[in-house]
């Protein structure tokens, strides 16, 4: 296996980094400007919405949002303080907790979604045809899958 990327792939990598930084920056600002929760909070809460019974173990959440355990602890502190989720002890395993979405958390998601959706659409999605979006997704899914199996 060749240890070095060619120009084409290297260029793709560098664009990936730069585009990510500017997109996150832009969309996060749009959310803040509209008096909504920041992007990282959204990402956490949306994982809860999609989870069975709107709850996830903290370590699962940390994994899904790619955050360290300690980072997650503090983020959950803030979200709990803001009333958007609550910790619930787990009777099955008394070491751990569930993070459970609250009604206010769900409301925060609903409020933010139109802004977030518009940001994704205008800054990102409009630039991808359906075919391009499929290539894009397929590639990133492959990358993520390979990481899972390695570690």
Partner DNA sequence: CATCAATAGTTGTATATGCAACTATATTTG
Partner DNA sequence: CAAATATAGTTGCATATACAACTATTGATG
Give the interface with its own copies as residue ranges (CB under 8 A): 1-6, 8-13, 15-26, 43, 65-66, 114, 117-118, 120-128, 130, 132-144, 146-147
User: Residue 86: how many CB atoms within 10 A of its CB?
Assistant: 17
121 binds, among DNA, its own copies, none (CB under 5 to 8 A by kind): its own copies
Can residue 42 be called a binding residue for DNA (CB under 7 A)? Answer: no
Instruction: Answer yes or no: are the C-beta atoms of 49 and 100 closer than 8 Å.
Output: no
Minimum distance, C-beta of residue 100 to DNA, in the bound complex (Å)? 12
CA distance 96 to 47: 18
Can residue 73 be called a binding residue for DNA (CB under 7 A)? Answer: yes
18 binds, among its own copies, DNA, none (CB under 5 to 8 A by kind): its own copies
Can residue 57 be called a binding residue for DNA (CB under 7 A)? Answer: yes
Minimum distance, C-beta of residue 36 to DNA, in the bound complex (Å)? 14
* Residue 140 in tokens: 């990133």
Q: Please give the full DSSP string across 87-139, using - where no structure is assigned.
A: EEE-TT-TT-EEEEE-HHHHHHHHHHHHHHHHHHHHHTGGG--HHHHHHHHHH
**In residues, how long is the chain?**
151
Q: Which is nearer to DNA, 35 or 130 (CB)?
A: 35
Q: Residue 149: which region, alpha, beta or left (left: phi > 0; alpha: psi -120 to 50)?
A: alpha
Minimum distance, C-beta of residue 136 to DNA, in the bound complex (Å)? 24
73 binds, among its own copies, DNA, none (CB under 5 to 8 A by kind): DNA
Question: Where does this chain bind DNA (CB under 7 A)?
Answer: 29, 38, 40, 57-59, 62, 66-78, 87, 90, 93-97
């Amino acid at each position: 296996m060749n240890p070095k990327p060619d120009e084409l792939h290297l260029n793709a990598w560098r664009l990936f980094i730069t585009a990510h930084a500017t997109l996150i920056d832009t969309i996060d600002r749009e959310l803040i400007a509209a008096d909504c929760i920041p992007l990282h909070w959204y990402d956490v809460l949306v994982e809860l919405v999609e989870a069975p019974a709107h709850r996830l173990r903290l370590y699962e959440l940390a994994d899904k949002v790619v955050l360290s355990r300690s980072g997650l602890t503090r983020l959950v502190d803030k979200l709990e303080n803001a009333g958007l989720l609550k910790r619930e002890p787990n009777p099955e395993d008394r070491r751990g907790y569930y993070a459970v979405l609250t009604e206010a958390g769900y409301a925060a998601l609903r409020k933010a979604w139109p802004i977030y959706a518009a940001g994704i659409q205008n800054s990102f999605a409009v630039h991808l045809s359906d075919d391009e979006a499929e290539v894009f997704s397929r590639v990133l899914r492959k990358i993520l899958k390979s990481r899972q199996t390695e570690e």
